[in-house]
Amino acid sequence: MNETQKSSAGNKIEFVLRDYVRELPLYDGDLDINANINADTETPPAAVVDFRREMSEAHAIIIGTPEYNYNVPGGLKNVIDWASRPFAKHCLIGRRVGVFGCSPGDRGGKASVEYLRNIVPLLGATLVGQELLFPKINSLISPDGKIDRSVMSPLTELANELAD
């Protein structure tokens, strides 16, 4: 899905919604370029190449996630692992990153968000925005997909901050 809106400064913001969790294989240094001293490939999987290019070209990235057993779901961790290599030359360095949590429970993915807010700066990216949690998310999205204003307003604010 592509969506366009104006930022608070009047600039055009284009959102690209991507779900890489199902697209990327399980991280394996033997499939990756420059991951190991003796890497045995010069060509990471095509999905990884596309993913890293998209990340590099994005002005900013928003990561939205629930939590699994008080951490990010394994699929998201795998996406981050692919993004974080080659070491010190990867696609997250210098990116502006916003994070939000959402879950049907009362915590709104708090542990996931705390984890992500810790590691984003450690990965060389710039963390933007306040802690953003949406508990009971099921009650905030109508059957026809309309998202409640209590979710959309803070997300729009985050997008504007990221666009600056």
Contact 100, 127 (CB under 8 A): no
Q: Is 30 in the site for ligand FMN (CB under 6 A)?
A: no
Contact 58, 95 (CB under 8 A): yes
Q: Is 67 in the site for ligand FMN (CB under 6 A)?
A: yes
- How do 133-134 and 96-102 pair as beta strands? parallel
Min CB(79)–ligand FMN separation in Å: 13
Min CB(21)–ligand FMN separation in Å: 9
User: Residues 6 or more apart from 58 whose CB is under 8 A from it?
Assistant: 16, 95
- Stretch touching ligand FMN by CB under 6 A, among 48-56, 98-106, 118-126, 148-156: 98-106
Q: Is 69 in the site for ligand FMN (CB under 6 A)?
A: yes
Q: Which helix (H) or strand (E) holds 63?
A: strand 60-65
Residues in 37-66 that interact with ligand FMN by CB under 6 A: 66
Q: Is 86 in the site for ligand FMN (CB under 6 A)?
A: no
- Stretch touching ligand FMN by CB under 6 A, among 24-32, 47-55, 103-111, 147-155: 103-111
Contact 85, 35 (CB under 8 A): yes
What's the CA gap between 86 and 99, in Å, rounded?
Answer: 23
Min CB(49)–ligand FMN separation in Å: 26
Contact 99, 113 (CB under 8 A): yes
Is 2 or 69 the residue whose CB approaches ligand FMN more closely?
A: 69
Please report, as ranges, the residues that interact with ligand FMN according to CB under 6 A: 66-70, 73, 103-105, 107
